[in-house]
Structure 1
Amino acid sequence: MYTCTYANMYVFVYIYLSIYLSIYLSIYLSIYPSIYLSIYLSIYLSIYLSIYLSVCLSIYLSVYLSVSA
């Protein structure tokens, strides 16, 4: 005959919480770092491209104006 004691309930709660936390963490770790990484890369690329294009454009204009003048 099976009797439900507090020890058995703690075991069931512990197993449930461990399964829940493992599923939650696997979903959390697969979604949120990719979001943060995409935001970081978009900001980094926008800053990098703005600096790169401004430098390249200034060099191009200085060479073009010196040759055409």
Structure 2
Amino acid sequence: MSVCLSFYLSIYMSIYLSVCLSVCLSIYLSVYLSVSLSVCLSICLSVSLSVCLSVCLSVCLS
């Protein structure tokens, strides 16, 4: 009986841990990707805007 119970508990814990790890990893990856994408987009937009403004100003002033 105790062998059966320990076997059941080990299987249950391994399944539970794998499911929990996969869920946690997917949540972490989605959050990390969304944050990194938003940061990259904001940096790219600000750099492109500043370059465009400086070029336009230099052309207009010359």
TM-score range, shorter chain: 0.7 to 0.9
CA radius of gyration, larger in: 1
Task: Quote the residue 2:54 is aligned against.
Answer: 62
Find the aligned partners of 2:35 and 2:22 in 1 and give their Cα distance. 21
Task: Quote the residue 1:10 is aligned against.
Answer: 2
Unmatched runs of 5 consecutive residues or more in structure 1: 1-8
By how many angstroms is 1:66 displaced?
1.5
Which amino acid in structure 1 is aligned with residue 37 of structure 2?
Answer: L
Aligned residues: 61
TM-score scaled by length of structure 1: 0.75
By how many angstroms is 1:56 displaced?
1.2
Unmatched runs of 5 consecutive residues or more in structure 2: none
Task: Quote the residue 2:23 is aligned against.
Answer: 31
Q: Write out the 4+ residue segments of structure 1 that deviate beyond 4 Å after TM superposition.
A: none
TM-score scaled by length of structure 2: 0.82
The structure that is helix-richer by fraction is 2
By how many angstroms is 1:68 displaced?
2.8
Identity %: 62
Aligned residues: CA RMSD: 1.3
